[in-house]
Amino acid sequence: MKRTTLAASAALALVWAAQANAQTTELTLCWAAWDPANALVELSKDFEAQSGIKMNFEFVPWPNFADRMLNELNSGGKLCDLMIGDSQWIGAGAESGHYVKLNDFFDANAISMDAFVPATVTGYSEWPKGTPNYWSLPAFGDVVGWTYRKDWFERPEIATAFKEKTGRDLTPPATFAELKEVAEFFQGREIDGKTVYGASIYTERGSEGITMGVMDVLYSFGFKYENPDKPYDMAGFVNSPGAVAGLEFYKSLYDCCTPPGMSNAYMGEGIDAYKSGQVAMQMNFAFTWPGFEVDPNVGGGKTGYLVNPAGPDGERFAQLGGQGISVVSYSEKQDAALEYIKWFAQAEVQQKWWSMGGFSCLRAVVEDPAFASSQPYAQTFLDSMAIVKDFWAEPSYATLLADSQKRFHDYVVAGTGTAQEALDGLVADWTVTFEDDGKL
């Protein structure tokens, strides 16, 4: 009897010890500082309640996000147990040993990558691309699209003036030619006693902004990163005639139709310009859309959502955004971090994530028949994610991006040289990098 009581007491003590350990375990998740991160904090309260693990968060503003977090990874820092890193980081995360490979964990927990939107698996999780080697779980689907002032487009006096000027109806632009025509029409127009402008586009120099904007146009004009039949063979693809025309178009849109003071604009500046009623149209990532719906100035049916327009030959692609969630290899709490990923992958969690403003990548959520009508922007999100392309995800991503940032900003904003010279220079820059990497 005494022996049985002692054994029971010992077993209970082990249970209490395990519970106490869980309650004192803390994880730090690192991500950018933006609205979706705030939603994730709220969502993660469910994980804390179920697991007893406390979640801490380290959020860094987008302009500083890459520098801060890549420095953290490159130094082997232990700040982050979980990292929601940009899609372009996946190559460096895998090859430099920053991220834990998740294949065995996925297999052991019946987490299938087939359950996620294919473009997000390729964009956020795979390295090398096209192989079943996974370094993250798709966490937040995002893509560049456009918003437009639907309420302005529908005003009879504005629609009449547009038709008198152009000979066609004022409709949401389906091509870049139409988009520029609409932007020119609104540029300098007075609406409700205020001078408005055509469009807000990305021009930011310091991090990634102008590259994300320019590429959103160049893809649909025929730009390709490399010869499809010969990796890293870029001449004639990066600087093709179509790519040159696309870069010229982007500069012409900047010159003709943007508000004053937008020479270094990215996501935040675009949001401000649109919400304040400065612009008729706005280029921005889809993550901004839930905020517009509840904004007193542009919500309540005043905003329309557009898939990135088609280029001159009918091609239509969009710049992928978004991120996957990875376990940082330097973390001393990898088991607990993996528990968070297991929890986050559940269908009911992903459905709640979408309802809170997070853009789920789980097919069970986005392919549900009710999804397309669940939000005014849901169908546009689906259509956009079906046509995505992404920037290089090579380990030398940061160098490749710095080159494009300089070349694009110098031409588009500073007016230096020609589009052909900018893209020829970019081929030369990228060639040096890939030679240094031993890939050429």
pLDDT tens, per residue, the chain with 440 residues: 444 444 444 444 444 444 444 457 999 999 999 999 999 999 999 999 999 999 999 999 998 999 999 999 999 999 999 999 999 999 999 999 999 999 999 999 999 999 999 999 999 999 999 999 999 999 999 999 999 999 999 999 999 999 999 999 999 999 999 999 999 999 999 999 999 999 999 999 999 999 999 999 999 999 999 999 999 999 999 999 999 999 999 999 999 999 999 999 999 999 999 999 999 999 999 999 999 999 999 999 999 999 999 999 999 999 999 999 999 999 999 999 999 999 999 999 999 999 999 999 999 999 999 999 999 999 999 999 999 999 999 999 999 999 999 999 999 999 999 999 999 999 999 999 999 999 99
The structural domain count of the chain equals 2
Q: Is residue 113 included in any domain, yes or no? A: yes
State the Cα–Cα distance between residues 114 and 103, nearest whole angstrom: 13
State whether 229 and 276 are in the same domain: yes
Residues paired with 305 in a beta bridge: 147
State the Cα–Cα distance between residues 174 and 307, nearest whole angstrom: 8
State whether 197 and 315 are in the same domain: yes
The per-residue pLDDT for 16 is 42
State the Cα–Cα distance between residues 174 and 312, nearest whole angstrom: 11
Number of Cβ within 10 Å of residue 74's Cβ equals 12
State the Cα–Cα distance between residues 283 and 280, nearest whole angstrom: 11
Burial of 12 (0-12, 13-18, 19+ CB in 10 A): exposed
Q: Is residue 17 included in any domain, yes or no? A: no
State the Cα–Cα distance between residues 134 and 128, nearest whole angstrom: 9
State whether 249 and 194 are in the same domain: yes
State whether 224 and 263 are in the same domain: yes
Q: Is residue 15 included in any domain, yes or no? A: no
The per-residue pLDDT for 24 is 72
Q: What is the DSSP string of 99-130?
A: B---HHHHHHTT--GGGB-HHHIIIIIBSSTT
Task: Please name the residues in contact with 399: beta carbons below 8 A apart, sequence gap of 6 or more.
Answer: 433
The per-residue pLDDT for 207 is 93
Amino acid identity, position 371: F
Residues paired with 35 in a beta bridge: none
Domain span at residue 100? 26-142+323-389
Select from 389, 404, 421 the last residue of a domain: 389
Q: Is residue 401 included in any domain, yes or no? A: no
State whether 201 and 295 are in the same domain: yes
The per-residue pLDDT for 7 is 46
Task: Please name the residues in contact with 372: beta carbons below 8 A apart, sequence gap of 6 or more.
Answer: 378, 379, 382
- Structure tokens given for 162: 């547009």
Q: Is residue 11 included in any domain, yes or no? A: no
State whether 90 and 73 are in the same domain: yes
State the Cα–Cα distance between residues 71 and 77, nearest whole angstrom: 8
State the Cα–Cα distance between residues 150 and 168, nearest whole angstrom: 17
State whether 173 and 270 are in the same domain: yes
State whether 170 and 40 are in the same domain: no
The per-residue pLDDT for 1 is 42
Residues paired with 140 in a beta bridge: 323
List the CATH number of the domain containing 201. Answer: 3.40.190.10
On the CB side of 88, CA atoms within 13 Å amount to: 20
Task: Please name the residues in contact with 75: beta carbons below 8 A apart, sequence gap of 6 or more.
Answer: none
State whether 85 and 223 are in the same domain: no
State whether 157 and 173 are in the same domain: yes
The per-residue pLDDT for 13 is 43
State the Cα–Cα distance between residues 170 and 279, nearest whole angstrom: 16
State whether 75 and 216 are in the same domain: no
Q: Is residue 394 included in any domain, yes or no? A: no
Q: Is residue 66 included in any domain, yes or no? A: yes
Amino acid identity, position 401: L
Residue 327, by phi and psi: left (phi above 0), alpha (psi -120 to 50) or beta?
A: beta
Q: Is residue 397 included in any domain, yes or no? A: no
State whether 36 and 97 are in the same domain: yes
